[in-house]
Structure 1
Amino acid sequence: MGKTKELSKDKIVDLHKGLGYKKISKIFNIPRDTIGSIIRKFKTYRTAANLPGRGRKPTISSRALSNLVRTAKKNCKTCFSGNYKIKLFGHTDQRYKNTIPIVKHEGGSLMMWGCFSEAGTGNLDRVPGIMDSQKYQVILKKNMMPSVDKLNLGDHWIFQHAWLGKRCWSDLKKAVAAQKPSNITELEAFAHEEWAKIPIERRKKLVSTYRKLLLEVIKTKGRSTRY
């Protein structure tokens, strides 16, 4: 693919000796601005090929990179958190498979905050209304340190609000849905019950995936990764 692009650029340069941007643009079906950029590059550097050091620059500072290295080495002492909405039941609920979804059948939802580590699950708490900065601070003050003590993370641990939690919450939502709660009270009770049941194998797999992501980011020095 790269060689094909380079050959196209060379052809554009050759055609420009007798044709204008507009005609070359129609031949290659490429915007005139792109044609102009290629020609200007050739006039400046005497080549249309990609130049070394012209790729995407790292998007991470050396300090942030150091923090990632530290986190990757101490992932077993990392406490992950997240907040997600859990619905009582929605359009896909089998109890209403042959009905038209209306407000009555939607039944409401809860915003829950929770944290976990490889060692276990920490607190799970209900967020009143919509999460904002003040509520988030209250949630952390109320639940963070008790969770750290519960998980025996000691004095040296890292707090990470990460996408990793989405996978954990996906497991929780499926488990709660299987219980078929009929009201908000049951929904919250089942959420706490199933949160405590998330198996250690699942937690270890999630933490391992996160560590691989960190190592990949470190390897690419902040550039895009396959994750």
Structure 2
Amino acid sequence: LRSISLERVFKAISKALGIQRTTVRAIIHKWRRHGTVVNLPRSGRLPKITPRAQRRLIQEVTKDPTTTSKELQASLASVKVSVHASTIRKRLGKNGLHGRVPRRKPLLSKKNIRACLNFSKTHLDDPQVFWENILWTNETKVELFGRCVSHYVWRKRNTAFQKKNIIPTVKYGGGSVMVWGCFAASGPGRLAVINGTMNSAVYQRILKENVRPSVRELKLKRTWVLQQDNDPKHTSKS
């Protein structure tokens, strides 16, 4: 009878608090046995990274996400905490910080940023048919052997494009092959390899040889628009 009455108590508490009946039973039994409901000490090895050391790790990678696990290991060693680099990575992972390859973005000046923002606001409500009639053009470099060095940053989810988590790239820096290309909503246009130094004369020749053929191949309307950035050789009056 006592067992039945206890089960009724467990059921009533479970319903009132919205938790499982087994959880209620376990908590009450723990209180009766130990006189407390807090987590009791367990057997096994204690963690080598103390809460204070953990805060130090999080502060360092938050301040500089490019800090390596080896550098963090040396930092902890300076306060007499000796742990393996993999232990540091695991502890950061438990706190939502994972090693990721940073996104690469062109290095923009404040003037460029304002111009891009103004362009976006100006054309924010333009209809789709407007965008379908634009020929986008630009030059870029192609690295024949890929990136020479891989970098990682410690970051949390949805923070990939925060300024401290990206590696700025400089246009044309260290490229192997330079190409000019164009595209529209209907597909890619022609691609031209740039030999030697890119200047205003070379740029005009590329436009003359590739723009109109691309417009015909992409079947743009007669009111098509050529879109380019404000690179000096693009705006030269020569």
Larger % of helix: which? 1
Same topology, TM > 0.5? no
What is the TM-score with the length of structure 2 in the denominator? 0.32
TM-score by length of 1: 0.34
Q: Bigger relative contact order, structure 1 or 2, given CA contacts below 8 A and separation 6+?
A: 1
